[in-house]
Structure 1
Amino acid sequence: MSEEDIKLNYITPALNNKGWRNGENITMETQITDGRINLKGNLAYREKPKRVDYLLYINKYHPIAVVEAKDNNHTPSFGIQQAKTYAQMLDLPYAYSTNGDMFHEFNFLTGQERTFPMNAFPTVATMLARYNAEKKLTDAEKKLIDQPYYSSQNSYPPRYYQRNAVNRTLDAIARGQDRILLVMATGTGKTYTAFQIVYRLLASGVKHKVLYLADRNNLIDQSIQQDFAPLEKVIHRVNYAKDRKDTITSYQVYFALYQQLIGDNDAAHYSELFDSDFFDLIIVDECHRGSAKADSRWRRILDYFSGATQIGMTATPKETKYVSNISYFGEPVYQYSLKAGIDDGFLAPFRVVGVTLNISDGWRPRKGQRDQFGNVIEDRIYNNTDYDYNIVLEDRTREVAARITAYLKATGRMQKTIVFCPTEDAAERMRIALVNLNADMVRENPDYVVRITSSDVYGKSKLKYFTSVSSRYPVIATTSEMLSTGTDCKLVKLIAIDKNVNSMTQFKQMIGRGTRVREDQGKLSFVVMDFRQVARLFADPDWDGPIEIDDDFKPGPKPEPEPGPGPGPGPEPREPIPYVGEDGCSVQVLQEVVSVYDTDGKLLRQENIIDYTRRNIRGAYADLRAFVNQWSQTEKKAAIAETLAGRGIDLEQIKRDQGMDDVDDFDFIIHVAYDGKPLTRRERAENVKKRDFLHRYSGVAREVIEALLDKYADDGIAEIEKTEILKLDPFRKIGKPARIAKLFGGRKGYLQALKDLENEIYRIG
């Protein structure tokens, strides 16, 4: 019998007989991942998602076991490794495999395996009692297990890793742990996970007063308006200027910027507004940004509310010789990495386009060369570590902006794009350069390019529109630091890095801006355009490796910097950096290399899409003659493009990239794969008109053939092969399709005339 027969006739009845019921405490063929997105050529496609044959639940919200089914050509234990893999992913205590003859069990709590008859599967009550005894559940844990997640028609159920994170956190709290670290990759729903934690703790009565602490307004606004919206009636946003200690006590969830709780001159506003025992739970959003520093202002707040349970949440915990999240919060209770997110298909994979400029490795000014201020430029070698930090090269800014613009023109002008620049001034220069190179788009909407930085009031006001799925503008955001972390950029498809990055934490955060998947909006992957060789960090062992405390970490304040030169402590004021105009240094792109990395940061391949296309076309058609023969024999020419799409080649996209939209697939393939000179569709149509082909037809029939030829020149061969074309102008003015076909002796005659026209269009020589 097949596996499905085994399920229907043996496994499901065996479970049902023990009180496990479909729709109550069993789900079948439960999808647990979305299916990894793979990049092939210039296309992206999904693998099949992982599905669990049977998922068994304690209640509607809490799965407890996986059952993997196999046909009875296999032993009962044949599927146990697969079941164990799924159970580990789902953080479940029991895994089962069966072939319909016997069950085989692996118990994660005891480490033991056993095989038993089909009629001896544990009942719901038996399994729950075993779980309680083997896990040694406390009353507090049992209470939280019975507490459901928040659900509504407008919310989605937690993904498996979000459920794991919530359950691990609640388990730790129930067991009395008061410092908790959750590590979840950017784009995997940290705030939604925090909401479910808070909701279940409040609903169960385990916690009553919650402080959600962040350091940026947009993080708080996002959280209140989106994930925490179901709790809006019990939420209060702290405002020291307006709040009073005696009127602020009636809420349950408080959102605060640490800048609101610690004022100018380090005023302790937190103690003026709240008693030290007011909160019993504090969530520190993006806790890698210094919250664990012994001398940080965040730490003062956490120390004041030391009696509260404190949860640190981050995608990139900070572990340096001066800062350690683990030292403060402890080892993470749960981790879900970028690697896991991409492997599961919840996060988007990416290509890296490495752009090398002619001055990337160095530029030296001419003897006595002066900048635009008339100052002599120091005679030394400048490189990527200097540009926009120690010297401004106007033509370099223009060339970077030009390359970004060229990419968008080739792939879509309305793709959300972030350009990371060294400084806010550099972000403004980049904005101006992009405006000038995209004047046609800026004419349609002045917000096509906007600078979004902490000091730019107008730009900050546009942040919510840039991150919104429903708002088209702004399209391009230039920034320095502000967008590198915490901002939920759902539709970003291009991240251009034009700043030096040495911190793995910052690198991961920047890459994370593009990792959201929005399949409904056509976003399955994104591109990183690297102008500063930042992609070298993929080779760093810390790229997606284990989180460990730095060997040199020593608790205590970070040492003060050494006094600089001059009369007082600190460095002397800096002179304005040299500014070199376009005529002072000419910059061009030397080369571009497209790299694809696996989730471990290992280089899978470096490819030029043209080389990739050439190699695959030649793999399909050995030589030019073989291709031409196949083309002429193929009834619908679009089938050739479909064949190549199966190899990861989107011909239309590549033609746009190469500025060859007006070239037929036939010519483009010959040009790329066999070094032939391409003709445009218009040129091919004119060649047909110059020959005597049209003289075969007269009167209205000739008008039809000429109209087909013009339609080919405008829209391509696929359009004239469609039968519905005869229902459109200009054919509709000639007559109905049946009348037009009659001009050629009927439908068969019309199709033969179309075939003859195609042969003439693609005639070589």
Structure 2
Amino acid sequence: MSNFEFLQSDWPEFIDDAQAVEKLVHFDPRGACGRARHLVEQVVLWMYEHDEDLELPYDTGLYNITNEMGFKKIIGYTVYEKIKVIRKVGNIALHDNKRVTEDDALRVCREVFHVMYWLYSTYTSDEEPKPELEFDPDKVPKVESASKESKKRLEELEANMQERADELRKLQQSLEEKDKALEQRNREIKQMRLQTRKYADNHDYNEAETRELLIDVMLRESGWDPAERNVREYEVSGMPNKSGTGYVDYVLWDDNGKPLALVEAKRTTRSYDEGQHQAKLYADCLENEFGVRPVIFMSNGYEIWIWDDEQYPPRSVLGFYTKDSLQKLFFQRANKESLKLAEVNKKITGRYYQVAAIRRVGERFQEGHRRALLVMATGTGKTRTAISITDMVLKKKWAKRVLFLADRNALVRQAYKSYAEHLPEVPIVNLVEEKNDDAARVVFSTYPTMLNQIENLEEGKRKFDPGHFDLVIIDEAHRSVYNKYQAIFDYFDSLLLGLTATPKEDVDHDTYNLFNAEQGNPTYAYGLEEAVGDGFLVPPKTISVLGKFLTEGIKYAELSEEEQKQYDDLLADDETGAVPDHIDPGKLNAWLFNEDTVEKVLKQLMEHGIKVEGGDRLGDTIMFAKNHKHAIFIKEVFDKNFPQYAGKFAQVIDNKIEQAQDLVEKFCLPDERPVIAISVDMMDTGIDAPDCVNLVFFKPVRSKAKFNQMIGRGTRLREDLFGPGSDKQHFLIFDYCGNFEFFEQNPEGYETTSSASITAKIFEKRLVLTAKLKNEPYNRDDELQQYRTNLLDLLHQQVSSLERQSVQVRPKLKLVDKLSERAVWDHLQSQERKEIVRELAELIPANIDEDEMSRRFDLLMLTLQHEKMDGVLQQKKTKEVAIEFAEHLYSKKHIPAVKKVLPSVEKAISEEFWTSPKVTSLEEIRQQLRELMHLIERKSRAPVYTDFEDEFSEIEIDDA
């Protein structure tokens, strides 16, 4: 008897392999798991060959073909997880030297049974599948029952496996020749699948056991082998029950035979804390037996919690610690010293406030807090303070490895150099420029680089486990960073130190929350006014000059006759000849560049800017430009007006300039060129340039945090700048865009919120649309209800296809798994939809193979569908954009692809269509035209260069 006899009628080609898996379970567990993987691969290829809804991708590896959206949609989440487990354990069996046990093989065999049952129930020619079929472990042959004949048969099966695989590949290659013969069979197969869907799938797929297998896989990701002796179901004594014994789900052992950690596994329907007390009792028993207290992990499959109950309360982590990380934790437990009275290296940080900041961070960590936030004005030594804190936690054995994160390569490089200078004995590595060095004690990286490092698996393992770093330092901690890279802070289970120059009253609420601090109460704060008062920074003086064009724009009526002629020539519309009456000030330096305006700004800078070298040379200056074209224009005007400097005095520094970092470093050195750095964003933050004495704000700034950062470029001290004993006392700010006036009227500024991606917006539009379509009167329209079903199918497919191993998806797995059941989508409530958008919308990947304009058109047409249902279509101008797109396509009707959908294009430009279009008609237009959007040239306003005479107010110097 075999568990797989139900395959005999429809799939005799699979029954031999399935029964071989069964027979090898106790005889050869590794072979059973390898054969199981091979069988599943053949089953999946069979589906691609026979199911016309599936198209075999170019890469036919098992991982790739099982992760195709269409395949996932057909098999559903439950069976997909089983296939994934079989693939992963099979890979371990085939490619890893770790032991595979009979228990592993038996569980994999059970998973194979469920997959084969699904194949049978989905594609069977039987009138109704048999839901009562269950896996029976007693049908799995024991070793002692394997006769010589059966062993010989197994050897024959092994020998023939490659031959059958070759035959299947040949069959796959000859598909084109057999298309006609297969066409009728494919229709029958699809009909079988549709027929079996009439019956509820009541088969018990035993998801709890699949979840247990996935915990095994996560342990293997961290280098543990659940199949090793005494790891699973380890017996302990001393439990407060009748027998006095208990069985620990998993024990993770040190090389010396003592337990490093235990894992308490709970069902997915239970939260971690339900097993917390039991886990503690197990830890007590292990401690009594071995004399060491293990770390406690608790997992229900969705979440993993770590509880080092000698130091901290339980906290969520995204993976299990490796043996190295657990050994490190044990070492720190036994050897770390108090941080409260730790000696501060005065050679690195000797100022009183730096010492106070370091002490306060040490006290906070010593008190059991795991996060700290330092608010320190630019120029007061944030990086040095971080270096001293690093020095402290390394010496006091609180940390073995430290990660320093910044948002730009230049800031990473600058921090790297500072650490190399002040901690020369500590091995360090810059991941932006070098490969990781396992010996490095301090690792430097940008956020995107580190996110890539933790997302990618190498040979089934992550480069860094959650316990790899003991302290993570965030340079310039603010909302935009953690909005985008929260996954990094969630992944690493470390102490967290945030550094920011934003005044504590301007630090946003979310930043305080990230560091578990009260609003307005960071771990330590030292502001600009205090630093100036103490003589550690210099204050700014402002020159606020209002240019007429920059504040009011350019008015045609106010130009001279000659200027009006130039205006007509440059700004007339190519098609209509119309000339605008007024150019908005926001357009100036965006696409309209007026030479006289720039000349006047440069003249005032050269005349009134702070000079050095006895007044013979302008002091170092940063000019903040609006964009790259603006910066280039400024340099061209400067070189034209000051040819004596041979093009070296002023240089553009932004990310479009090759070797821009070299220019930054030269600017920061004394007596180096350039003297005027024309910057677009690159020098707004983090640049240490003590010689800088002039700042030119040639662009409007609306973020208070960024404004403070930009001012900070001039605050650093510089001894002997003007000669021996003549130090820098202040710096000048030339403000040509009314920034100081703006912040006087708007003290908080306008902080831009991070905009959702186009894909996330499309996802949200579709989800909200399904809610509207459920209401009266739309729920009585069959066509609209079919459209709603299609939308829900698509949304379900997108969520179900999220990459579960991603560190960004893993914290949301419980929600993802809930939504992997298609029926859940039919009855979503308002709060559930909000949760889905909040947690998952930004995780939906964009199709990188399609043109961005296609997605923009999707968003446009979905917006129109909402406007139609809300009754505001005629009042809004959105439809005019859609008409304009269609008109562009109509002008290209000679192109075959456009000609093919010309009726839809003509419909989209007709007035009659837009008087009262149906929602489904708008959707049809979207589907028909979206793939043609790449034919529409993107509008890009060509730069216009003018030379109109501008007017500026009188110069007045004020203390900022």
TM-score, normalised to structure 1, is 0.52
Deviates more, 1:585-594 or 1:482-491: 585-594
After superposition, the Cα gap between the structure-2 partners of 1:238 and 1:347, relative to the gap in structure 1 and judged at 3 Å, is closer
- Tell me if structure 1 keeps the 8 A contact 2:476–2:500: yes
Match of 2:697 in 1: 497
**Is the contact made by 2:406 and 2:447 (CA closer than 8 Å) also made in structure 1?**
yes
In 1: Cα distance, 2:499 partner to 2:610 partner: 39
Q: Is the 8 A contact 1:418 1:476 kept in 2?
A: yes
What CA distance in whole angstroms lies between the structure 2 residues aligned with 1:159 and 1:308? 28
Q: How does 1:241-260 map to 2 (within 5 A)?
A: 243=435, 248-260=437-449
How has the CA–CA distance of structure 1 residues 511 and 434 changed in structure 2, closer, same or farther, with 3 Å as cutoff? same
User: Is the Cα contact below 8 Å between 2:431 and 2:444 reproduced in 1?
Assistant: no
> CA 1:452 to 1:182, structure 2 compared with 1: closer, same or farther past 3 Å?
same
**Structure 1 residues 581-608: Cα deviation after superposition (integer angstroms, max 9, x where no partner):** 22xx2224332222223xxxxxxxxxxx
Distance 1:289 1:197 in 2: 24
The amino acid that maps onto 1:371 is L
Name 1:550's counterpart in structure 2: none
User: 1:473-552, aligned counterparts within 5 Å?
Assistant: 473-521=673-721, 522-539=727-744, 542=747
- Corresponding residue number in structure 1 for 2:379: 187
In structure 2, the residue corresponding to 1:261 is in which secondary structure?
Answer: helix
The CA distance in 2 between the partners of 1:162 and 1:541, in whole Å, is 32
Q: Does structure 1 retain, via aligned residues, the 8 Å contact 2:478–2:507? A: no
1:348 aligns with 538
Alpha-carbon distance in 2 for matches of 1:141, 1:377? 76
Which residue in the other structure is 1:428 paired with?
Answer: 632
Shift of 1:535: 1.1
Does the C-alpha gap of structure 1 residues 299 and 379 become closer, same or farther in structure 2, counting only changes over 3 Å? same
Of residues 629, 648, 651, the one that matches 1:447 is 648
Following the alignment from structure 1 to structure 2, what is the Cα–Cα distance between the partners of residues 497 and 452? 15
Is 1:328 equivalent to 2:518 in the alignment?
Answer: no
Aligned residue for 1:234? Answer: 426
Distance 1:238 1:514, change over 3 A: closer
Determine if the alignment matches structure 1 residue 418 to structure 2 residue 622: yes
Alignment of 1:77-226 (within 5 A): 143-152=338-347, 155=348, 157-226=349-418
The CA deviation string for residues 615-652 of structure 1, in whole angstroms up to 9 with x for no partner, is: xxxxxxxxxxxxxxxxxxxxxxxxxxxxxxxxxxxxxx
AA matched with 1:308: S
Q: CA RMSD in A?
A: 3.7
Question: How far apart are the structure 1 equivalents of 2:942 and 2:509?
Answer: 32
Q: Secondary structure at the match of 1:234?
A: coil
Q: Indicate conservation of the 8 Å contact 2:609/2:732, yes or no.
A: no
Matched, 1:300 2:491: no
Residue 659 of structure 1: aligned partner: none
Q: Secondary structure at the match of 1:472?
A: coil
Higher normalized contact order (CA 8 Å, seq sep 6+, divided by chain length):
1
Distance 1:263 1:308, change over 3 A: closer
Residue in structure 2 matched with residue 728 of structure 1 by the alignment: none
- Give the CA deviation at 1:492: 0.8
More helix by share: 2
> In structure 2, what is the Cα distance between the partners aligned to 1:371 and 1:271?
61
Relative to structure 1, the CA distance from residue 534 to residue 226 in structure 2 (aligned partners, 3 Å threshold; closer, same or farther) is same
Distance in structure 2 (CA, Å) of the matches to 1:456 and 1:534: 27
1-structure distance, mates of 2:477, 2:937: 33
1:379 aligns with 2:575: no
CA contact (8 A) 2:595 2:637 kept: no
Stretches of structure 2 lacking an aligned partner (at least 5 in a row): 1-332, 557-563, 722-726, 750-834, 843-855, 861-880, 886-929
* Distance in 2 between residues matched to 1:208 and 1:340, nearest whole Å: 35
Q: What is the match of residue 587 of structure 1?
A: 950
CA separation of 1:538/1:346 partners in 2, compared to 1, >3 Å: closer, same or farther?
farther
Q: 2:400 aligns to what SS in structure 1? A: coil
User: Quick check: which one's strand share is greater?
Assistant: 1
Q: Deviations over 1:535-564 (max 9, x none)?
A: 1145257479xxxxxxxxx99579989946
1:424 & 1:323 partners in 2: Cα distance? 33
8 Å CA contact 2:572, 2:578 repeated in 1 = no
Q: In the alignment, is residue 404 of structure 1 matched against residue 611 of structure 2?
A: no
Cα deviation per residue 1:119-158 (whole Å; 9 max; x = unaligned)? xxxxxxxxxxxxxxxxxxx999982244322244xx5x42
- AA matched with 1:183: V
1:603 is aligned to none
- For 1:143, what is the secondary structure of its paired residue? coil
**What's the CA shift for 1:300?**
1.5
Structure 2 counterpart of 1:342, one-letter code: V
> Structure 1 vs Structure 2: percent identity of aligned residues?
26
The question of whether the paired residues in 2 share the 8 Å contact of 1:288 and 1:318 is answered with no
CA distance in 2, matches of 1:277, 1:177: 17
Segment of structure 1 superposing worse, 498-507 or 362-371: 362-371
Closer, same or farther: CA 369–467 of 1 in aligned 2, 3 Å: same
Rg larger for: 2
TM-score between both structures, scaled by the size of structure 2 = 0.42
2:641 is aligned, of 424, 437, 455, to 437
Question: Cα distance, 1:351 vs. partner?
Answer: 1.2
Give the partner amino acid of 1:395.
D
CA distance in 2, matches of 1:377, 1:509: 43
Q: Number of residues paired by the alignment?
A: 435
With 346-355 and 360-369 compared, the bigger mean Cα shift is at 360-369
Question: 1:466: which partner in 2?
Answer: 667
Q: Is the 8 A contact 1:354 1:594 kept in 2?
A: yes
1:315 is aligned to 501
> SS at the partner of 2:590?
coil
SS of residue matched to 1:457: coil
Post-superposition shift, 1:461? 1.7
Q: In the alignment, residue 348 of structure 1 is paired with which amino acid?
A: V
Is the Cα contact below 8 Å between 2:337 and 2:396 reproduced in 1? Answer: no
For residues 664-743 of structure 1, the aligned pairs below 5 Å read: none
Letter in 2 for 1:188: T
2:530 pairs with 1:363 = no
Structure 1: state its 5+ residue gaps. 1-137, 545-553, 598-765
- The Cα of 1:361 is off from its aligned counterpart by 2.1
Residue identity in the other structure for 1:257: T
1:22-41 superposed matches below 5 A: none
Asked whether the equivalents of residues 426 and 442 of structure 2 are also in contact (C-alpha less than 8 Å), the reply is: yes
How far has the Cα of 1:190 moved from its partner?
0.4
Relative distance call for 1:540 and 1:230 in structure 2 (3 A) is same
Secondary structure of the 1:592 match is coil
